[in-house]
Amino acid sequence: MIYENEIHPDVISPVVTPDGAEIRIGDAAYPRPFRIGLQYASPARGHWTIAHSPLLIPECHEIYVCCACCLHGVVLSADEVPGGAARFSMVTLTNENIIKGNLEEMMIDGIAHIIENLPHRPKCVEGFTSCMQHFMHIDLHVVYGALRRRFPDIDFIDGYMIPTLQRRFTPDVLGRRQLLRAVTKLPRRRAVNVIVNYYPVDAENELTVMLRGSKWEIQDFAACKTYEQYKNLGSAAANLYFLPNAAAAAKDLERRLGQEAIYVPYTYSYEELRANLRRVAERFALELPDTDGYERAIETKAKALLARVGKTPVAIDYTATPRPLSLARFLLDRGFSVYAVYLDSISCDEEADFRYLQSAYPHLSLRSTSHYKRRLLKRDDNERYGKVLAIGQMAAYFTNTPHFVNLIENSGLYGYVGILKLLDLIGDAGEETKDVRSIIQIKAWGCRG
């Protein structure tokens, strides 16, 4: 059921150009609405970095082999996670190494020295090289070959911190792929993997329930508690992935292990949700759940929520969900006053949502989070409009509202059940206040050491 809606006139942003940090969606270009050169990084850093994600591999130790200037950031990131510093080490690349040309020897000896002096032997080591080693054409086959011969009981993963060199993959895409490089082929079991989320998928979602009802075991990368569970990912028949950034990991496992890659994306569209379920049901010969019943439940809950929040202005950011425009469309079509979406680019998965919003809600404000002018703009929406309800930490920070849903990358919420739970969280956020400063300054929110 669709409801008529207009964005509240008091919260329409002024018309600006792509040279700035804000633009009406009606005037924006796909897929890059902003011309971003010099970038700004906000204090809202709850999303994960390459220093945090290896901590999801149980009993994995990460070792960065980098110049001191690069190490400053990653060591601080690791130290922010409880227990993270104990699983993080570094080898400093110096000018002397560059002049002597002994990059391979330095890396082998440095990593070996660290391993031999750790209080506990790790099951896995992910070593990270930086741009400088690759500028100098380091031979990683020599490095990891020597380390594997020296430590045959340890799995080694080649990690990369090379943002200046990545043309094919972004740092996040490459990082997610490498997280599963120590997974090897095992005898097949009646199991399906969920990869590579940073949060375990909510076990109550209808897709998981549908699979488990037919005796399929769900192996969730983000839920692995032991290294054995991590290695057992190699026994699954297929890999489900929800994020476009996990596609490289899924296709790599398909190539290496013969596991089928099945993309069932996060979405707030009933049509896409049904297509996801049909895809999995047909592949595994499952019975579909009552999608009509789920949709009626969502519409009922959305009406009740609208009665609670009324015309409260709503802002959404891309760190809360990989489909911020899909969520904006869902809420706007049901009468909610979504007035701003914080993002820097638009994924191909959201092109249809972008085109729809351009036509139906041209005054919706798109706001860059990383354009340098964002640093100069006032953060006073909550004061100007009386109250703003934010979905995501960045939206909370930039609008300066204590009323926000603390969601990072969907935080495991998926499918129809995920939407139902999100609506509950939105209702709670509208009635409760949070200490924004204490929450948003924690990097990799929810990360375990």
CB 371 within 8 A of CB 34: yes
Domain spanning 191-264: CATH 3.40.50.1980 = yes
Answer whether 53-179 and 307-441 agree in fold: yes
The DSSP 8-state label assigned to residue 371 in this structure reads B
Provide CATH code, domain 307-441: 3.40.50
Q: What is the pLDDT of residue 209?
A: 97
Mean pLDDT of 191-218: 96
pLDDT tens digit sequence for 32-71? 999 988 899 888 877 778 888 899 999 999 999 988 888 8
Q: Where are the beta strands (DSSP E) in 97-181?
A: 124-130, 155-161
Check: CB of residue 31 under 8 Å from CB of residue 94. no
pTM of the model as a whole:
0.92
The CATH number of domain 53-179 is 3.40.1590.10: no
Return left, alpha or beta for 444; rule: phi > 0 is left, psi -120 to 50 is alpha, else beta: left
Is residue 447 pLDDT above 90, yes or no?
no
For the stretch 366-419, pLDDT in tens is 999 999 999 999 999 999 999 999 999 999 999 999 999 999 999 999 999 999
pLDDT in tens, 147-198: 999 999 999 999 998 888 767 788 889 999 999 999 999 999 999 999 999 9
| Residues in CB range of 372: below 8 A, 6 or more apart | 21, 37, 38, 39, 40
Could you tell me the two tokens for 185? 């082929």
Q: Where are the domains of the chain?
A: 53-179, 191-264, 307-441
Q: What is the pLDDT of residues 258-309, one digit of tens each?
A: 999 999 999 999 999 999 999 999 999 999 999 999 999 999 999 999 999 9
DSSP string covering 27-89: G--SS--S---SB---S---S--TTTGGGGSTTEEEEEEEEHHHHHHHHHHHHTSTTTGGGEE
Measured on CA atoms in the order 14, 27, 361, 338, is the torsion positive or negative?
A: negative
Which has the closest alpha carbon to 192: 284, 57, 287?
A: 284
* Interval 111-119 mean pLDDT: 97
Average pLDDT of the chain? 92
